[in-house]
Every structure is written in structure tokens, then in C-alpha cells.
Amino acid sequence: MSKVEDLLTAEEEAEIVEAIRLAESKTSGEIRVHIERSSKLAHYDRALEIFHLLKMDNTKLQNGVLFYLAVNDKQFVIIGDKGIDTAVPDNFWESTRDVVLTHFKNDDFKLGLVAGISIAGQQLQQYFPWEHDDTDELSNEISRE
């Protein structure tokens, strides 16, 4: 896998965006996906940088969630904002991460992301239920570099 653009077909990308929309219809949490080829920074640090660059640290309830994927490095990181960290148990993202990685190991990136987004949405729903005045604070489109 050498090109980020080759990772997902347009149809698969649309399915991921739809999974985010569905997840966000049940929670006020805001989920984004960022995909890039590789990073010279440690991947957790890079994911934090992207989180900030995408202004994901600006949500009302501080409940943005980033799925960061560095394709060539085979690295995947989930970052949640402060509002989530203070509300949930320490191992909150573990099951989501496990499911995503299981699919990634089979090179099924679309299924991994869709499944992960769905689980993250269900998890977030318990702590950050959807409210009637909810707005789409962060774009559901995949961010790439």
C-alpha cells in the first residue's frame, strides 16, 4: 500500500462518512478520521497535532474523537478530547481499537473504520447523549495528507 488515495474507493469513503453521520445522530461527540502516508513524529504526538490542526479541541463539550491512521507505518491511534477523558474509564477506547486493528490486519480498512466508528458512537452515547440542539461541529469528511 503506497498511496493514501488507493486505500479506500470513493464508495468505501462514502460509507465511512455515513458511519460518522449515523454515530453522531446518537451522541453529541464529534468523530473525525485522518489518513496519511507516514509521519516522522511519534504517531501519538502526530495524532495530537492533527487533532489541534483540525480544531477538534474546540467542541462545546470537549468530546471530539480522532481516528488517526498512518498507512505506510501501519499505525493507528484514537484520540479523545479532555471532556471524554474525565468522564469515561481508562480503558474506554480499548475495545474500539481492538476491533479496528482486527480488520486492519486483514487489510480491510473500510470495515475497520466503519466498525470502529460505530462502536465509538455507541460508547460515547452513554456519556454524551445526542441533544435536540445538537449541531455538526466538525466535518464528517475524511481528512488526508
User: Kindly report the CA angle at 107 between 102 and 110, in degrees rounded to 5?
Assistant: 85
- Terminal CA-CA length for the chain: 15
With respect to Ca ion, which residue has the nearer C-beta, 64 or 112?
64
Of residues 116 through 135, those in contact with Ca ion by CB under 5 A are: 134
Judged by DSSP in three states, 77 sits in strand
**From candidates 68, 114, 140, 142, binder to Ca ion by CB under 5 A:** 140
Binding status of residue 81 toward Ca ion by CB under 5 A: no
User: What is the contact mask toward Ca ion in residues 7 to 36, using x (rule: CB under 5 A)?
Assistant: -----------------------x------
Binding status of residue 136 toward Ca ion by CB under 5 A: yes
With respect to Ca ion, which residue has the nearer C-beta, 72 or 139?
139
The DSSP code sequence of 79-105 is EE-HHHHHHS-TTTTHHHHHHHHHHHH
Judged by DSSP in three states, 139 sits in coil
With respect to Ca ion, which residue has the nearer C-beta, 98 or 136?
136
With respect to Ca ion, which residue has the nearer C-beta, 1 or 14?
14
The DSSP code sequence of 22-60 is HHHTTBS-EEEEEEES--SS-HHHHHHHHHHHTTGGG-T
Binding status of residue 94 toward Ca ion by CB under 5 A: no
Give the position of cell 516522522: 40
Number of residues in contact with Ca ion, rule: CB under 5 A? 5
With respect to Ca ion, which residue has the nearer C-beta, 111 or 117?
117
**Which residues contact Ca ion (rule: CB under 5 A)?**
30, 134, 136, 138, 140
